[in-house]
Amino acid sequence: MNTTTSQEPGLETQAIAEISIEQKETEGLSQGQIVRRRFFRHRAALISMIVLAFIVVLAFTSVGVDLWGLRVPGWWQYSWNEIPAKVNNGVPTLSLWPLQFGDHPFGQDEVGRDIFAVVMRGTQQSIMVMVIAGVVATIIGVVIGAVAGYYGKLTDSVLMRFTDIIITIPLIVIGSVLGNTFGSLGAAVLGVVIGLFAWTTMARLVRGEFLSLREREFVDAARVSGARDRRIIFRHILPNAVGVIVVNATLLMAGAILLESALSFLGFGVQSPDTSLGKIISENQAAFSTRPWIFWWPGVFIIAIALCVNFIGDGLRDAFDPRQKKMPSERAMARAGRAGGPVPTPVDTTASTDAPTVTVSGEAVYTGDVVNYQDPRPDSPGDSRRGPLDPER
């Protein structure tokens, strides 16, 4: 019997080619290596991580660090609380063409303070609030969500009703009251205060993940082997929910820096003599029409930090989620189809005269055409033992 193969590419061939490309890219790699490779392929996240790292290094090395009496000087010639003589009437000395920075690249305020030094100090404080609030909120949210989702029943009801109560209170109101009380203690304390009330979204998401993961087979196997609940939660279930946790932790940090800026602008955040990005804008709002550059730079840094953190979170989501796949190019799919594509389906091209036949009572009844086959035998309704003729038999 002569056969030929169908060469028409279909959707099944395309899907198998995509799977083949993905399998070749991840062959021999651990889960951590796969996540890292997917993250580095996200251009926006990679660029955002570089920009955020540059901002952090610039802020903490330029004017130094002054934290709880520990003073580390920086390479910039002025500090945020120093008042030098005015240069060029306080106008920024930064020039892009020809490129030059001058003594005061961001300009000076009405009393002569160097805006670059003040903005760098404000960036330090805002980043500190962002990181501390994100870490505190993540820890509290993960613990409450994990316990509620794993144990369920009464424990779940009590913890989730408590979470609902915290959600009903506007975070800006809580932050204003507590920020006015604890803001004078420094950015670190303000970050802890914000983190104590920003964990609700994390708790609900982690609870949902645990409700799904606790019914999986590996959890049942751990219970049968005698593992304790604490070990099952933190060693078996929690690593499988790390993608949701990491992504939402970045969103918490982005929200924390915006909340801190809003509180400081309203006067309830970081208190004098220290400063933050929101406080810089609040203190100089009367000079918006005469010295607008005082607003440009803290606003640019607030937007840059928030966007970088959000893009990094977007990249982490794509890296941890196995359903997020990169669509290969047409050239890569064609190459994968040629190299390891599916075996084409055989098509029968045998002539009808050469096809195998089936005879019944000396009469040919099958010549390879199954669709148009007709049973020539007379009907025998009374013969219950008779079944349909099987041409393949």
Report pLDDT digits (tens) over 239-264.
888 888 988 999 899 888 888 888 88
* Residues 103-161: tens digit of each pLDDT: 888 888 888 888 999 999 999 999 999 999 999 999 999 999 999 999 988 999 999 99
Output phi, psi for 131, to 5 deg: -70, -45
**DSSP letters along 36-53, please?**
HHHHHH-HHHHHHHHHHH
Output phi, psi for 348, to 5 deg: -75, 120
Alpha carbon distance 219, 22 (integer Å): 29
Mean pLDDT, range 370-377, rounded to an integer: 52
Which spans in the chain are helix H? Answer: 11-26, 31-41, 43-62, 115-151, 153-168, 171-182, 187-195, 200-213, 217-224, 229-231, 242-266, 277-283, 293-320, 330-340
Highest mean pLDDT among 8-17, 313-322, 370-379: 313-322
Query: pLDDT band at residue 283, thresholds of 50, 70 and 90?
Result: confident
All domains of the chain in start order, with CATH: 31-320 (1.10.3720.10), 351-393 (no CATH)
Least confident of 23-37, 43-57, 202-216, 221-235: 23-37
Predicted TM-score (pTM) of the model is 0.72
Average pLDDT, the chain: 78
* Residues 289-337: tens digit of each pLDDT: 778 888 888 989 999 999 999 999 888 888 887 555 555 555 655 665 5
